[in-house]
Amino acid sequence: MPVSGPQLRRLAGRQDYAATQQAMRCFTDQREADTADEIWLLEHDPVYSMGLSADPAHLLDVGEIPVVKSDRGGQVTYHGPGQLVMYTLLDLSRLGLGVRDYVYLLEQLVIDLLDTFGLDAQRREGAPGVYVDGAKIASLGLKLRRGRCYHGLSLNVDMDLTPFSRINPCGYAGLPVCQLADYVAGVEVGTVGKVLSTTLIRTLESP
């Protein structure tokens, strides 16, 4: 019996990071061979997430913002209102995708999206994510369990970037961070999320 394409879920309101991570784990652990993939769109309450390889020394002055350990790859980053988070709960083995190819695919989705706004975005060798004018605008982090992945990407749309100055973003001291609203007026998380997720679903469903 054929498996249906990825299902899109929009999580209304600001989501707690730890609770969302646990929900992704449960979905991944309980899914079966014919379980449809899911894409979750959301915004998080203010939080610093520490990836599996994260060094606490990169937390400089977090103040009252909570720090949560994450089982994704990568270092420390910040999530907060005005940032689009797209979690991709996919069976990569079923899709015939390796992790490296999938990271490239996600980066390209963001690069192509930003191009529609007239922005020249790039990758950076050895530092996954997407950059505009040398500043990081999107971060990636994945977790793979038995060929199935969760977590995904975050794209700074229209948010308070100040909390990034209280850490070494992604483990890089002094790394500048930017957002789409710095270049395009009136952008909204919901609109950007719809375009990005729809493009991803179309890409995954293409032969």
Cβ 177 vs Cβ 136: under 8 Å: yes
- Which DSSP letter does residue 66 get? -
Q: Is-catalytic flag, 170? A: yes
83, HSE (Cβ side, Cα atoms, 13 Å): 27
Q: Which of 26, 149, 170, 178 is catalytic?
A: 170
Rounded CA separation 16/79 (Å):
10
Which positions ≥6 away from 194 have C-beta within 8 Å? 41
Q: What are phi and psi of 57, to 5 degrees?
A: -65, -20
Q: What is the separation of C-alpha 203 from the centre of its chain, rounded to a whole number of angstroms?
A: 17
With b meaning 16 or more CB within 10 Å and e meaning fewer, what string describes 107-140? bebbbebbeeeebebebeeeebbbbbeeebbbbb
Rounded CA separation 207/200 (Å):
13
Catalytically active residues are: 170
